[in-house]
Structure 1
Amino acid sequence: MQPSSLNLAALPTAVSCSRMFVRHTLKRWNLPDQIDPAELIASELVTNAVKATGVTMPNPGWGDLEKVALINVRLAAHRDGVSIQVWDASLEPPVQPAAGAAAGAEGGRGLFIVRAVARQVGHFYPRGGGKVVWAELALDAPVPPLPRRAAKTPTIQLPLPDPDLLRKVLAGLQRL
């Protein structure tokens, strides 16, 4: 399966858009069991990317949106897993959950949740700049290869010769 990606403005609405993108893509890839955990991971990673590079105020004005950053969400299915990657323009490493973080705190547990759901989590800095934070989900069964269609040989049915029709065509051509 070809990887699939989506560019989004780094705004709070990117979280719900990324969830829809993940749901649609995994349905198309026939991986319905991965939808819920992949949506959770994508929403946490996108939330962190928006906090790192985007506009987080509830009602931004046009001036606040003038130079809004982009983020990129990418999904890839491998033989035994699905990876979710989120790129943002920040060079700051992802915020790791603090040991013994307050249970009532509203934020700061995004990567903790991702680590609890995913098989692997990490980040890297691509040559083009910014950072990519990624997580990989394990598949219960390997991703089957896409079926190949058998090549069809074209079959052309030529009409049987019709002597009367041929005489009429010849007579019409001769009159010209």
Structure 2
Amino acid sequence: MTAALAERPQAESMNETPRPEWEQRSELTLAALPSAVSCARLLVRSAALRLQLDARSTAAMEEITDALVIHSVVTTGVSEMGPLDGDAVMRLRLLVVRLRFMPDRAMVEVWDRSREAPHSRLGRLYAVQMADDWGFELFPSGQRAVWCATSLTFDTPNVLPALPRRIARRVTPIADDEPPLGAPDPALLKRVLEGLRRLGSDGD
């Protein structure tokens, strides 16, 4: 079962509060499974190619994204590889990977459903320590956002529009911009599971 459920376009929604300091955004909703790590990495590579990031910036964002997604899967999802039974499918959690870009800075956010602070080991990981800044937010809705900010360099002149250089030292996720992270539709998941079982029996 693949982790990827939906990818949102980089353009901001008409209903969202304008955020001039974050000019571009990419977002991907995933099932909290081990395969989410490779899916999230593809999102980073797609954004890096679009923005013409150099190898150093791309590698840094990939490593940060890996660390945050693995943490989310281990603490809220299914971390064991292998087929899912019906009960596991019904308990499946979602996470959202969100990338925000400024002309010389990016933030990787991973949103999930948890009321607990990140594990203390997360802050000791090399990728997180090498980031410019990192933190987390817990929201009344029961969602958690863990984020890392890192500087960017480009293979070509910066393609993002010039913006004022004055920014806060700590840039945190915006509380009124929580992604929808409700539980997956049980009926839909049941139909998917039944279809996979039929495919397996047809192959036999």
Do the structures match in fold with TM over 0.5?
yes
User: For residue 41 of structure 1, what is the aligned residue in structure 2?
Assistant: 64
User: For residue 182 of structure 2, what is the aligned residue in structure 1?
Assistant: none
Q: Does the CA-based 8 Å contact 1:55-1:65 persist in structure 2?
A: no
Distance in 2, Cα, partners of 1:124 & 1:61: 31
Q: Does the CA-based 8 Å contact 2:64-2:128 persist in structure 1?
A: no
Q: Does the CA-based 8 Å contact 1:76-1:83 persist in structure 2?
A: yes
TM-score by length of 2: 0.60
Q: 1:30 to 1:90 in 2, by over 3 A?
A: same
2:110 pairs with 1:86: yes
User: For residue 53 of structure 2, what is the aligned residue in structure 1?
Assistant: 31
Distance in 2, Cα, partners of 1:128 & 1:32: 38
Which of 109, 119, 124 pairs up with 2:137? 124
Distance in 1, Cα, partners of 2:62 & 2:78: 22
User: For residue 112 of structure 1, what is the aligned residue in structure 2?
Assistant: 125
User: For residue 3 of structure 1, what is the aligned residue in structure 2?
Assistant: 25
Percent sequence identity over matched residues? 34
Q: 1:30 to 1:49 in 2, by over 3 A?
A: same
User: For residue 156 of structure 1, what is the aligned residue in structure 2?
Assistant: none
Q: 1:127 to 1:5 in 2, by over 3 A?
A: farther
Distance in 2, Cα, partners of 1:52 & 1:11: 11
SS in structure 1 of the partner of residue 41 of structure 2: helix
Q: Does the CA-based 8 Å contact 1:44-1:114 persist in structure 2?
A: yes
Distance in 2, Cα, partners of 1:18 & 1:111: 21
TM-score by length of 1: 0.69
Instruction: Count matched residues.
Output: 136
Distance in 2, Cα, partners of 1:2 & 1:128: 26
User: For residue 147 of structure 2, what is the aligned residue in structure 1?
Assistant: 134
Which of 66, 76, 92 pairs up with 1:53? 76
SS in structure 1 of the partner of residue 24 of structure 2: coil
Post-superposition offset of 1:143:
4.6
Post-superposition offset of 1:140:
4.3
